Structure 1
Amino acid sequence: MTDVRADATAPPDRTAVTGRRRRGRRGRGEQPMVPDASFQSYYGRPVLKKPTWEARDIAGYLFLGGLAGASSVLAAGAQLTNRPGLARGAKTGALVGISGSLFALVHDLGRPARFLYMLRMVKPTSPMSIGTWLLMAYGPAAGAAAVSEWTGVMPRAGRAAALAAGVVGPAVAAYTAPLMANTAVPAWHGGHRELPFVFVGSAAAAAGGLGMVTAPVSEAGPARRAAVLGAALEVAAAKRMARGMGLAAEPLHTGRGGSLMKAAEILTVAGAVAGGVLGRRSRTAAVLGGLASLAGSACTRFGVFHAGVQSAEDPKYTVRPQRERLRDQ
């Protein structure tokens, strides 16, 4: 079909450029009226491939690994300050936590051989490679400490293993944050500066909660302090992270991820107050506060996981920030 006009002398329509007419020679003031592109896919494919991990595997791996690492730090401190009840509970929690974390990781990988394959080389720039070797160093130490504690076999070696696990524990609690942030998923990568502090605070709160549940009130002072300080660090870092992420922080406040993050904050603060304050004299308050701290830590890991999946599914969290960065240049 051709554009034939009844009035051949009429000028053709020009809708691509509007605005003020040319000024001088250079035609300044002309404004293109092309609407902003709305990207929903790339030739029928998603802009980002969303994570295919199961929440129970990866979020469980994050939570249990953090609990294990922080519990070993608490166990080492309890051992050095002669708190046998707290030390026993923390050592047991560390072994159960790291065992569950490794099981969840291997279940996600599909078969144990894939985990062992990652040990064939060391890549200092890969959080997964470093994390794998951390687990290999930490797991036997945490296991030996717990087994010696319960059986009484080789007590000196068990105490040394507990101290070794306590040294490696902080790295075990923290390395999963760079692992998640070292991806293109907007809600994970956008918080790469604060996410390690969120995870470490969450791990400390969980370990403190476990200590309040398992230890006598008279020995649980370090656990109460860990729960309070961990809660303060987690909540403060999470709020700072959300403020600095811009649009990518939206999934942390909406949908399943947002609901879990809200529950995490409520439970973590409640656990710190109930366990850290009321739990000084009341065993019941200590147990309830400890359980709330554990549940809050788990909600944090699952909330961050689901927020990341949501941000990968919606292309606006990828395209719009890139467009804004180009506009600012």
Structure 2
Amino acid sequence: MTTSTFDSYRPPEPPRRKRRREGPRPASRPGAGGGDGSREMSMVDDVKFSSYYGRPIVKAPPWKHEIGLYFVLGGIAGGSALLGFGAQLAGLRKLRRNSRLTALGAAGAGALALIADLGRPERFLNMFRTFKVTSPMSLGSWLLGGFSALAAIPALSELVRMTHGFILPKPLRRSGRRVLEATENVAGAGSALLAAPLAVYTAVLINDTANPVWNASRKHLPYVFASSASLASAGVAMITTSKRQTLPARILGGIGVVGDVVSMHVMKDAMHPAEREPLETGEPGKMLKFAEILAVAGGVGSIFAGRSRLVAVASGVCLVGASALTRFGVLDAGLESVHDPRHVIEPQKARLAARRAAGITDDSITTV
């Protein structure tokens, strides 16, 4: 028997069975061995999607759940500022007050969550060193800063009214109240103008990556985040405000429920099955499914929330929970998708086949 240097690559053979010496030889069954070659050992392993050295093809961002909390609070802040401006125009004082305070509180808490994720506070300040129109992160930092500055004026004005001016230093009580009363409506309108960009810029931020789930949802995820912001802000208003003044919040919540459910299904239908899979399986899939149930329950409850304070609070909790689970579910689905190379490779091969089928064979993508 001859040997070569390549024999070391041959996998070990299983031990052979001893032949039966007595009795006739049984007839070979189809597929159980014999002359059909079924007993031959395969020299090639089953094909599995993998990457070099077992590393992910796309690197996952080092984000923790502080970023998910920042996403949720940003939606609450933006939606509340818009709701507060509507209450300002409608003359609903309690709803205006609660929405203004919620907008500033959520923006401040969101900034703290972002700083906690960055690790060091100076990193947050370094984001304001430059302004790049082409960078969603740079634009988002300036957007958060401008929104917080504008939302602080009407919120401070509401606090001054609640405390009859005692939160201001005594020499500035008269002049400070006059300045706040003169600027609060303009600042409220400015924060409302920045409300929608603040609520959805995080969707644009994660869409601007190579992550298979986030990149594939770039056309529809901003609509999902806008709807979830409507859910969250309406829910907080229904929890904190008496039922007599929650009609605008209940209307906003109902619109948000329809937008959230429809946009989520449209987004999934537009994605490749391998890209959609992380949104429908595992913990992210459970969160998004439960978020849809809570959104529908909160939307139905908001119809009857004007009759019962208990129903209003329960519906508000459902809407806030649905918004939070939606954003956490999308975030976790993207983080999970990079662990399986199939989520990257299969959509790429499908796009390549579609371009070749369309007759596009002269570009850098389809040329082999």
Q: Same fold (TM over 0.5)?
A: yes
Alignment counterpart, residue 128 of structure 2, candidates 89, 114, 119? 119
CA distance in 2, matches of 1:60, 1:2: 61
Alignment counterpart, residue 344 of structure 2, candidates 301, 305, 318? 318
Alignment counterpart, residue 314 of structure 2, candidates 267, 282, 288? 288
Could you tell me which residue of structure 1 aligns to residue 67 of structure 2?
58
Could you tell me which residue of structure 2 aligns to residue 301 of structure 1?
327
Give SS of 1:175's match: helix
- The 5-angstrom pairing of residues 226-265 of structure 1 reads 226-246=252-272, 247-265=274-292
Alignment counterpart, residue 248 of structure 2, candidates 222, 225, 230? 222
Query: 5+ unaligned residues in a row in structure 2: which ranges?
Result: 6-43, 162-176, 357-368
Could you tell me which residue of structure 2 aligns to residue 93 of structure 1?
102
Matched letter for residue 244 of structure 2: S
Alignment counterpart, residue 87 of structure 2, candidates 60, 78, 82? 78
Matched letter for residue 42 of structure 1: Y
Matched letter for residue 79 of structure 2: A
Shift of 1:37: 5.5
In the alignment, structure 1 residue 178 sits paired with structure 2 residue 204: yes
CA distance in 2, matches of 1:102, 1:47: 31
Could you tell me which residue of structure 2 aligns to residue 269 of structure 1?
296
Aligned length: 297
Alignment counterpart, residue 144 of structure 1, candidates 149, 153, 160? 153
Percent of aligned pairs sharing the same letter: 40
- After superposition, what is the alpha-carbon deviation per residue over 1:91-115, rounded to whole angstroms, capped at 9, x for unaligned? 1111111111111111111112112
- Asked if the contact 1:149/1:158 (under 8 Å) is kept, the reply is no
- After superposition, what is the alpha-carbon deviation per residue over 1:28-52, rounded to whole angstroms, capped at 9, x for unaligned? xxxxxx9995332224422121232
Give SS of 2:132's match: coil
CA distance in 1, matches of 2:101, 2:183: 16
CA distance in 1, matches of 2:263, 2:4: 63
Matched letter for residue 258 of structure 1: G
Shift of 1:119: 1.3
Matched letter for residue 125 of structure 2: L
- After superposition, what is the alpha-carbon deviation per residue over 1:45-79, rounded to whole angstroms, capped at 9, x for unaligned? 22121232112x11101000011011000001101
- The 5-angstrom pairing of residues 33-72 of structure 1 reads 38-55=48-65, 57-72=66-81
TM-score by structure 2 length? Answer: 0.78
- Asked if the contact 1:85/1:214 (under 8 Å) is kept, the reply is no
CA distance in 2, matches of 1:87, 1:54: 34
Could you tell me which residue of structure 2 aligns to residue 20 of structure 1?
none
RMSD over aligned CA atoms reads: 1.7
- After superposition, what is the alpha-carbon deviation per residue over 1:160-218, rounded to whole angstroms, capped at 9, x for unaligned? 22221111111101111100111111111110000000000000111111111122222
Give SS of 1:279's match: coil
Alignment counterpart, residue 191 of structure 1, candidates 198, 217, 233? 217
CA distance in 1, matches of 2:230, 2:301: 16
Could you tell me which residue of structure 1 aligns to residue 39 of structure 2?
none
CA distance in 1, matches of 2:293, 2:230: 16
Could you tell me which residue of structure 1 aligns to residue 231 of structure 2?
205
Shift of 1:155: 2.1
CA distance in 2, matches of 1:164, 1:70: 13
Matched letter for residue 291 of structure 2: A
- Asked if the contact 1:85/1:215 (under 8 Å) is kept, the reply is yes
- After superposition, what is the alpha-carbon deviation per residue over 1:211-233, rounded to whole angstroms, capped at 9, x for unaligned? 11122222111100110001111
CA distance in 1, matches of 2:133, 2:241: 38
CA distance in 1, matches of 2:84, 2:45: 61
Give SS of 1:313's match: coil
Could you tell me which residue of structure 2 aligns to residue 167 of structure 1?
193
Could you tell me which residue of structure 1 aligns to residue 172 of structure 2?
none
Give SS of 2:255's match: helix
CA distance in 1, matches of 2:183, 2:121: 29
CA distance in 1, matches of 2:340, 2:131: 35
